[in-house]
Amino acid sequence: MKIRIEIDENLTEQEVIIRAPAWNEEIHTLKERISGECSIPSMLSVRQKEREFFIPFSDILFFETENKVIFAHTCDKMLKTDYKLYELEEIIMYP
């Protein structure tokens, strides 16, 4: 399998083209994996004091609620998020 990446600054959104001699299970699996990866958010919006930034979901160990505020815990930080617990569940479990 060859992989080629072309950068076109005129594009308004990313496009993935798969060229194959025939439709088969490998192509179907590849399409599903690419589609799945693109639909799952990889970053979470969090706040620390008045500063907002994004952290990778993979850095989050667990979420905690305290006085109706949701905190995302990493190895060394406790960061506030504006999401509700049910919203986080939908984002993580059902992209």
Quote the CA–CA distance of 4 and 53 in Å, as a whole number: 32
Q: Does this model's pTM top 0.85?
A: no
Residue 24: is its pLDDT beyond 60?
yes
State the amino acid at position 31 in one-letter form: K
User: How many other CB atoms are there within 10 angstroms of residue 35's CB atom?
Assistant: 10
Q: Are 75 and 61 in contact (CB under 8 A)?
A: yes
Residue 18 pLDDT > 80: yes
Q: For the residues 39-55, what does the mean pLDDT come to?
A: 81
Which pLDDT score is estimated for 39? 56
- Among left, alpha and beta (phi > 0; psi -120 to 50; other), residue 67 is left
Please give the pLDDT value at position 29. Answer: 84
**Could you identify the residue written with the tokens 């609620």?**
65
Give the confidence band of 37 by pLDDT, cuts at 50, 70, 90: low
